[in-house]
């Protein structure tokens, strides 16, 4: 078994991650809300908004003020309310109310960057792509799976090494591992289950 597959196997025994999918619109809106916002706040804010309006047409019936109140205290909630309305307008006018399923089209939407596009493709459409967030960035570099600081290059390096069947769980695994053990500051190397594979620990 290759190094990367052994790493995934060990981490998955610990975290028991299963691939999941949700409505692409819900994934997209949650991603927009999540920017510069803690996970717990994002979950609650997304849930409040999507309970009231779970598609672009319903969102457009809300005022910006109503959206602000529903997503508060997410960071930059006023800007996000504006952005959400703008995205929904574009989805209706250009994509018949559907979230596009190509990276190129997703990146044309306001506030959608590389990570958000990849999250929508993987968790909204089940496509085998790896979203590179801060946890994936640090874990991949520490394990020597990439030497790059460039998010797009890191994605390429990971796609080259990681079989498609593992890609839908890799982001989730590295996020859990990054929060608990391989932290950005003061990683807990002494309790790391994959320490023997880690260039940083050496």
Q: Which domains does the chain have, with CATH numbers?
A: 3-18+130-197 (1.10.1670.10), 24-112 (1.10.340.30)
In this prediction the pTM is: 0.94
- pLDDT score of 201: 85
111 alpha carbon, distance to own chain's centre: 14
Give the whole-angstrom CA distance, residue 80 versus residue 1.
45
Indicate if 22 belongs to the active site.
Answer: no
How far, CA to CA in Å, does 81 sit from each of 6, 111, 188, 198, 200? 43, 11, 38, 42, 41
- In angstroms, rounded to a whole number, what is the distance separating the alpha carbons of residues 53 and 43? 15
Catalytic residue, candidates 115, 147, 153, 188: 115
Q: Is 133 one of the catalytic residues?
A: yes
Residues of the chain with pLDDT under 70: 1
Tokens of residue 22, six digits: 């949700």
| Residue among 26, 80, 118, 133 flagged as catalytic | 133
pLDDT value, residue 70:
98
Residues 140-157 have pLDDT tens digits of 999 999 999 999 999 999
The whole-number pLDDT of residue 81 equals 98
| Dist. CA 113–CA 131, nearest whole Å | 11
């Amino acid at each position: 078994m290759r190094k990367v597959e052994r790493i995934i196997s060990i981490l998955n025994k610990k975290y028991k991650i299963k691939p999941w999918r949700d409505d692409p619109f819900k994934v997209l809106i949650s991603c927009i809300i999540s920017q510069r916002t803690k996970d717990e706040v994002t979950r609650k804010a997304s849930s409040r908004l999507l309970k009231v309006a779970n598609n672009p047409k319903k969102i457009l019936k809300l005022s910006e003020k109503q959206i602000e109140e529903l997503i508060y205290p997410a960071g930059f909630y006023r800007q996000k309310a504006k952005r959400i309305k703008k995205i929904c307008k574009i989805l209706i006018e250009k994509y018949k109310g559907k979230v596009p399923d190509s990276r190129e089209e997703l990146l044309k939407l306001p506030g959608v960057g590389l990570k958000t596009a990849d999250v929508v493709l993987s968790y909204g459409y089940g496509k085998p792509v790896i979203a590179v967030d801060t946890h994936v960035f640090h874990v991949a570099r520490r394990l020597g799976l990439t030497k790059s600081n460039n998010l797009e290059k890191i994605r390429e390096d990971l796609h080259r090494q990681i079989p498609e069947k593992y890609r839908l769980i890799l982001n989730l695994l590295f996020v859990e591992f990054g929060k608990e053990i391989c932290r950005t500051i003061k990683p807990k190397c002494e309790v790391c289950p994959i320490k023997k594979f880690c260039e940083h620990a050496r």
